[in-house]
A and B are shown apart, each in its own frame.
Chain A
Amino acid sequence: MAPSPEFDQEEFVRALLDPDLPPPAGLKATHDLPPLRRFAVYRNNVVVGLIDALAERFPVCLRLVGEEFFRAMALRHVRRSLPRTPLLFEYGEDFAEFVAGFEPARSLPYLPDVASLEYAMGRACHAVDATPLPLDLVRSLPLERLEAATASFHPSTQVVPSDYPIVSIWRANMATDPPRSLTLDHAEDALVVRPRLDVEAHALPSGGSAFIETLMGGGAFGEAASAASRRAKDFDLTANLRMLLASEALTAINI
């Protein structure tokens, strides 16, 4: 008797991901025909499962383009970029980049940035827990000492820059208090943070991303304000400080 063909996992995976390939050799069904439909159950489980994972991860992108378009787009992404760990909540790291290069989505130029915002919000959800700086402690801070002080941030804090109003777009599609009207003629850099259990996205005031990014890089408040003023002529320090403190993204101010 000839030995049965050894199971080739590589061949199995290639056929899973490429519907034009026949099912791998050495499979058995209750009949003698090529087991296309049976193999298709696995193909479907893998691909549909990962599309579902992206749909769950990028709900606003899905709403913006519609279910059918999103699933077709996600299918392309799944075929070229599988998860690198079994942690599905990490899947989609390069989805925004893929969307940016996805020709049929060009008519929605803000879509890649919305995907970046959603990915950042997912990361914030699973970030290390930390206690935000109590607001009353902040109020008692001597302002003259702030210039040389540095800040410690909640581990969930991320800045997502954009030329489009991504926070307003996100809120219009997801939040319980959607804005009444939405115009696309302004830019919004987003501050993403999860001070406790809820992930929040805030639209940063002008110069806010340079301000926060400098602070996050270890720069002092004075340095951050200068960097922000260079980036945005209308940088308003008071408005930015107020926003930053209200967001509860800080865990300490180091004097």
Chain B
Amino acid sequence: MWAPSASERICERRNPALPARAGVGFKDAHFTAIEESAPAVGFFEVHAENFMGAGGPPHARLTRLRRDYPLSIHGVGLSIGGAQALDRAHLGRVKSLVERYEPAVFSEHLAWSTRATSFLNDLLPLPYNETTLKRVVAHVDEVQEALGRRILLENPATYLRFESSIYSEIDFLGEVVHRTGCGLLLDVNNTYVCAVNHGFVAEDYIDAFQMRQVEEIHLAGYAEDMDEVRGRLRIDAHCAPVSVAVWRLYERALSRRGSVATLIEWDNDVPAWPILMAEAMRAENLLERRRLPGDDDLRSEAPHGAVA
């Protein structure tokens, strides 16, 4: 049973979207280069948890970025996919941060990271079934109610699946969207990593994804490994340039979605600013090709809903 909830009504008040341009994940090491060159970046994204201190240089930098660029805040600590209740203190911190900086977007992950009072610092996987669906829906509702805005939920990179899953990831995400009114963040690198790790066709995932609800795309580089039977294992390490395969998938996603805010994530082995900027410009060029006069909307969208 599903009826419009308080959070759904809240979601009708949409925040101004991120521009349909290429953005960059902010790293402290690049602050001076950004300040000096005032790069033509569409937006910056930051990890919420790095800006939850009371004061100091992090806030000074973020205030400066927010003044000059649209901002996306990306949470890694709410543990929305966790079995336990959300950490109210942490949700309160997220709320304060969102109120202070008024980002265009707040996003989180379909994953969990907290057990009791311990933070595990990774985005851990969950089975997709009725039990976990109810939890995720309740948690997304709670976050949206607390923040008074629609959030985006990101598809995870996973290395294992569960016998107790009865939904595909796309159907699961579709149900969460349907029941909470949240939007989606499509991580194309995660799609590729999962396709290799679980042996499905990445293009099929992109074709079936609820593109109508996608308000942001993430692109990143992966690391290569092998599993116990010497099968290919790809790890979402954010440590390398975006791969050729992921650029291709991205173009496929854009052909369905039209141009949409796209982030380059590079969090480990962080390169010099010009290299990161070049990656962003590559995405910007692909977005530009999709950006026809007056066309900032969805293209060739077929209803996918929960049947994808």
Interchain CB contact under 8 A, A84 and B119? yes
Nearest CB of B to A48, in Å = 10
- A5 near B163 (CB under 8 angstroms)? yes
Interface pick from B7-15, B107-115, B175-183: B107-115
Chain B positions 94 through 132: 1 when the CB is less than 8 Å from some CB of chain A, otherwise 0: 000000000000000000111101111110111100011
How far does the Cβ of A26 sit from chain B's closest Cβ, in whole Å?
5
When the two chains form their complex, are residues B53 and A31 in contact, meaning their CB atoms are under 8 A apart?
Answer: no
Q: Which of B32-40, B228-236, B291-299 contacts A (4 or more CB under 8 A)?
A: B228-236
Contacts of A30 in B (CB 8 A): 197-199, 227, 231
Stretch at the interface among A10-18, A112-120, A176-184, A243-251: A10-18
Which chain A residues lie closer than 8 Å to B87 at the CB level? 85-86
Given that A35-B160, A86-B77 are known contacts, is A12 also in contact with B199, CB under 8 Å in the complex?
Answer: no
CA distance A73 to B197 in the complex (A): 33
Contact in complex: A33, B228 (CB < 8 Å): yes
Stretch at the interface among A63-71, A125-133, A223-231: A125-133
Instruction: Show the binding face of A for B, using Cβ within 8 Å.
Output: 4-7, 9-10, 12-13, 16, 23, 26-31, 33-39, 41-42, 45-46, 49-50, 53, 82-89, 124-129, 155-156, 194, 197
27 residue pairs A–B, Cβ–Cβ below 8 Å: A4-B162, A7-B132, A9-B115, A10-B115, A26-B164, A28-B160, A28-B163, A33-B228, A33-B229, A37-B227, A38-B228, A38-B233, A39-B159, A45-B121, A46-B120, A84-B118, A87-B53, A87-B93, A88-B49, A88-B50, A125-B56, A126-B53, A126-B58, A127-B54, A127-B56, A155-B55, A197-B60
Q: Which of B61-94 contact A (CB under 8 A)?
A: 76-78, 82-84, 87, 89-90, 93
- The CA-CA distance from A23 to B120 in the complex, in Å, is 17
